[in-house]
Amino acid sequence: MLMGLEAGTKNYDNTAEANILGGICLYYEDLNYVFSDLSASEFEDERLASIYRIIKKMHINNEKIDIALVRNKLDENQSVLLAKCAEIFISKSNYNDYIQAVKIGARTRRLRKGVENIYITETDGNAILQRLRDIVADEEKKINDISYDDHSANQYLDYVNSKQRIANGEKPKVCRTGLSKIDKCTGGGLRMSSVSCIGALPSTGKTDLMIQIGVRNILDGKKVVMFTLEMSQNQFLDRVVAQIAGIPYSKLTSNEINDKDVGRISVALSQIYQNKPLIFPQYNTIEAIEKIINDTKPDIVLIDYLQIINIQKRIGERRHEIEYIGNVFKRTAKDNDCQIMFLSQLSRVRDRFPTMQDLKESGSIEQQCDLIMLMHRPYVVDKNATDGDGNPISPKQTYLLVDKNKFGECGQVELVFDGERQMFFEMTDNFE
């Protein structure tokens, strides 16, 4: 018996149930799929079941989940019990086995109970046999009716197979960012069938970086769809043209272009319309965005920005709407085998580098994104900022932090902002 716990029967072993609780508290981001696959009623130990219900409620409410925060929700006995669960947790690689062990245990108990009831209530042999058949058929139906999410066995097998193909030399389908160190750390670029986020404070340059990524993919021959909800199509195209043509953005906005600029602009426009990016400045509902993506079948979708996307029918608090929008992004990216990247605002951060927790509606965003990058320009936060030697920070100095990356390592790259072309260039030689 595990941890000296007794429940149900003399030989009860709650190892699997305990590992499920310990794992979800230690590795929530990777293991939260358990909530769609396992109910509290399938636990035999009611004490562990009650803890599972509390954690699941936190998940539904988009609360941050870790061992300390969960223990704050528990009474003293529950808190001690959860700490023991975390102590005995073995490995994430066994997590599906723990889930299946609990589900099989629940199924066995239901069958045993059903059989016991039959022999209490029935005396006729044929009736007993038919009741047994009914019980087995009911259990089979329950098994067949189970709906699995993205972590189902088949989909996980597909994932393993893709890993094998990559190991054999097949390159994953990606959309490049054009920043070599970011592309390197993500295994070549932004993965298809995945969702990415760039978070930053206002005036940091997140829109310019997104456009820069779009330009890179236009030039790569990718089908690009851009939703720009805060500027007109012409304003958006001005930035695209400035980056490709290599002319100051201010020239386009002030109409100060000369004959040489016109030639560069003509070349840029031919490059742009050779691949015909689609730019939609007027659509701001998730339903419209989803339909356009489904209709156009792009390689990469760029959305500026998350917090001003609406839904046609209100579903409650804004955080619930953000969760719904994130789910649509996730589903649509997989259905169309495309990359969806959106921008997000940060809560006001001062005197430090931002983290994922600084994203507005961070809980929902963290769960739905495969890649999260955060931009930080010290000058934007504090115009009197200095470096370690007391020298003033350049307004151009920018950091891009990879804070979540399902496809590689995390770290940061130092960038410099070219205000004339409204684009960023790498400063460092290594991804650290």
Q: Which residues of 232-254 are buried (b: 16+ CB within 10 A; e: fewer)?
A: eeeebbbbbbbbbbebbbebbee
**Which residue did the predictor score with more confidence, 44 or 170?**
44
User: How confident is the model at residue 4, as a pLDDT?
Assistant: 44
User: How confident is the model at residue 282, as a pLDDT?
Assistant: 72
CATH topology for the 174-426 domain: Rossmann fold (3.40.50)
User: How confident is the model at residue 284, as a pLDDT?
Assistant: 80
Residue 50 pLDDT grade (very low, low, confident, very high; cuts 50, 70, 90) = very high
Q: Please give the mean pLDDT across all residues of the chain.
A: 78
Tens digit of each residue's pLDDT (9 = 90 or more) over 420-430:
778 888 875 44
Q: Is the bond preceding residue 305 a cis peptide, omega within 30 degrees? A: yes
Nearest to 211 by CA among 248, 187, 238: 238
**Whether the predicted pLDDT of 166 surpasses 90:** no
Residue 46 pLDDT grade (very low, low, confident, very high; cuts 50, 70, 90) = very high
**Whether the predicted pLDDT of 139 surpasses 90:** no
**Whether the predicted pLDDT of 268 surpasses 90:** no
**Collapsed DSSP state (helix, strand, coil) of residue 63:** coil
For range 391-401, the mean pLDDT: 83
Q: What is the CA radius of gyration of the chain?
A: 27
β-pairing verdict for 190-191 and 423-426: unpaired
Residue 301 pLDDT grade (very low, low, confident, very high; cuts 50, 70, 90) = very high
CATH 3.40.50.300 in the chain, residues? Answer: 174-426
CATH assignment of 1-170?
1.10.860.10
The answer to whether residues 356 and 366 touch, using CB atoms and an 8 Å cutoff, is yes
Between CA 298 and CA 64 the distance in angstroms is 33
**Which residue did the predictor score with more confidence, 415 or 428?**
415
Tens digit of each residue's pLDDT (9 = 90 or more) over 63-97:
889 898 999 999 999 999 999 998 888 778 778 88
Between CA 334 and CA 338 the distance in angstroms is 7
Out of 13-27, 33-47, 149-163, 381-395, pick the least confident: 149-163
Question: Which 8-state DSSP code applies to residue 429?
Answer: S
User: How confident is the model at residue 130, as a pLDDT?
Assistant: 56
Residue corresponding to tokens 């955060």 = 374
For range 245-252, the mean pLDDT: 83
Between CA 59 and CA 36 the distance in angstroms is 11
For the stretch 276-279, contacts whose Cβ atoms lie closer than 8 Å and that sit 24 or more positions apart, written own/partner, are 276/223, 277/214, 277/218, 277/223, 277/224, 277/225, 277/226, 277/240, 278/223, 278/224, 278/225, 278/226, 279/225, 279/226, 279/228, 279/233, 279/236, 279/237
Token pair in block for residue 387: 């470096």
User: How confident is the model at residue 22, as a pLDDT?
Assistant: 93
Count Cα neighbours of 321 within 13 Å in the Cβ-side half-sphere.
17
For range 158-184, the mean pLDDT: 70
- Counting every residue, how long is the chain? 432
**Whether the predicted pLDDT of 120 surpasses 60:** no
User: How confident is the model at residue 431, as a pLDDT?
Assistant: 45
**Collapsed DSSP state (helix, strand, coil) of residue 254:** helix
Tens digit of each residue's pLDDT (9 = 90 or more) over 185-200:
888 899 999 999 998 8
Between CA 358 and CA 200 the distance in angstroms is 9
**Which residue did the predictor score with more confidence, 18 or 160?**
18
**Residue 425, strand partner residues:** 416
CATH 1.10.860.10 in the chain, residues? Answer: 1-170
Token pair in block for residue 197: 């986020």
In percent, the amount of the chain with pLDDT more than 70 equals 78
The percent of the chain in helix, strand and coil, each rounded to the nearest 5, is: 55, 15, 30
Q: Please provide the DSSP assignment of 272-323 as one string.
A: HHHH--EEESS--BHHHHHHHHHHH--SEEEEE-GGG-B-SS--SSHHHHHH
First and final C-alpha spacing in the chain: 46
pTM more than 0.75: no
For range 36-48, the mean pLDDT: 89
User: How confident is the model at residue 308, as a pLDDT?
Assistant: 81
CB atoms within 10 A of CB 2: 16
In percent, the amount of the chain with pLDDT more than 90 equals 20
User: How confident is the model at residue 53, as a pLDDT?
Assistant: 94
Nearest to 406 by CA among 164, 206, 163: 163
